Amino acid sequence: MSPADLENNLQDKMDDRLVQRPLSSSIAHEMTHISDMSELGIFNFIHKQLFHNWKLEGHAEYVAESSSFNVDLGKKSYYNIY
């Protein structure tokens, strides 16, 4: 995780492609990954990361009630591809 401002509950962006979000959301996101790994087992978790990563990330983003994904950048990337 990137540096955080505990007093203001903010996590710094790891790079310019992301948006800043509450630290509590980032912690919830990472704890969801830990919970998923515990529930699935390490080998199934790794398999899902390799082939179905969007499901694991979507679940973690849903639980966090926040996303670090930059929607505007995603739209630009999508429209440049298609």
Please give the residue range of the domain that contains residue 47.
4-81
Three-state secondary structure along 37-78?
A: HHHHCHHHHHHHHHHCHHHHHHHHHHHHCCCCECHHHHHHHH
Q: What total of structural domains would you count in the chain?
A: 1
What tokens appear for 75 in the block?
């739209």
Q: What is the pLDDT of residues 39-75, one digit of tens each?
A: 999 999 888 888 888 888 889 999 998 888 888 887 8
Q: What is the pLDDT of residues 11-47, one digit of tens each?
A: 877 777 777 888 999 899 999 999 999 999 999 988 8
Question: How far apart, in whole angstroms, are the C-alpha atoms of residue 53 and residue 73?
Answer: 20
Question: pTM (2 decimals)?
Answer: 0.73
